[in-house]
Amino acid sequence: MSVVDGGNSSKLVQRVQDILLRPKPTWEVIDTEPATVNGLYTGYAMILAALPPIAGLLGNLALSPLMGHLAAFSFMGSIVWAVVQYGLALVGIYVFARVVDVLAPSFDGTPNQIQAFKAVVYGATASWVGGALVFIPVLGWLIAFAGGLYSLYLFYLGLPKLMKVPEAKALGFVAVSIIVVVLIQMVIGWIAGAVVLMAGMGAGGAAMMGAAAFH
């Protein structure tokens, strides 16, 4: 059974520590560890992927008192964006895993859905953990950026190993996988941004109408 299938929070914390501090031996364990897509989502991804949106929401809400009459706009926009960001993260996992699985044979690797999901979910750990600190002014965003870079390194170590891609083609495999996913996510993000903007404009309009009524 996978470490994320048992519903044990201490095991989850240990896996986070291991993949961040001891990535190479941890990928060795993950490679042969049984897992399910459902377990990877509910026991790991859905928990950690919630950290950046929650942190961002807290940071935005802390600034709401400074927004004056636009506080309602800030509040609603922050809520909507946090939900959308969380949803995009979960969708991104699926998209990334599918891309990894489909591209593996082109780089002499072995397609395997479960292995692809394991590689993507655990590789994203640093990005999620770093994003949990975005509520800290300036420094938080720097930490989140560093977390994203470290996740790229984790992907470089894990994707080829789990998908059995030869070392000579590992870098190309990771690079192409990430480029394809970024392009897809840009499209999804553009659509999500439009939804958030529409929701925010609606809340902002209500806030300004309410403010006008009292002046």
Specify if 3 maps to a domain: no
Specify if 133 maps to a domain: yes
Token digits of residue 83: 């939900």
- The 10 Å Cβ neighbour count of residue 62 is 12
Q: What is the DSSP letter of 45?
A: I
- The 10 Å Cβ neighbour count of residue 6 is 12
Q: How many domains does the chain have?
A: 1
pTM: 0.83
- All residues at 6 or more sequence positions from 113 whose CB lies less than 8 Å from its CB, including other chains: 37, 97, 101
For 139-149, write each residue's pLDDT tens digit: 888 998 999 99
Predicted pLDDT at 200: 54
CA–CA separation, 184 vs 36, rounded Å? 25
Q: With CA atoms as reference, report the closest residue to 186 among 95, 56, 55.
A: 95
CA–CA separation, 40 vs 123, rounded Å? 12
Specify if 40 maps to a domain: yes
Specify if 196 maps to a domain: yes
Specify if 21 maps to a domain: yes
3-state class of 35 per DSSP? coil
Specify if 203 maps to a domain: yes
Specify if 1 maps to a domain: no
The domain in which residue 185 lies consists of: 9-209
Token digits of residue 101: 């699985």
Contact 111, 119 (CB under 8 A): no
For 72-102, write each residue's pLDDT tens digit: 456 677 787 888 889 988 998 999 999 999 9
For 163-210, write each residue's pLDDT tens digit: 999 999 999 999 999 998 888 778 777 776 776 666 555 444 333 323
Report the chain's mean pLDDT, rounded to a whole number: 83
Contact 56, 82 (CB under 8 A): yes
Token digits of residue 16: 């986070």
Specify if 137 maps to a domain: yes
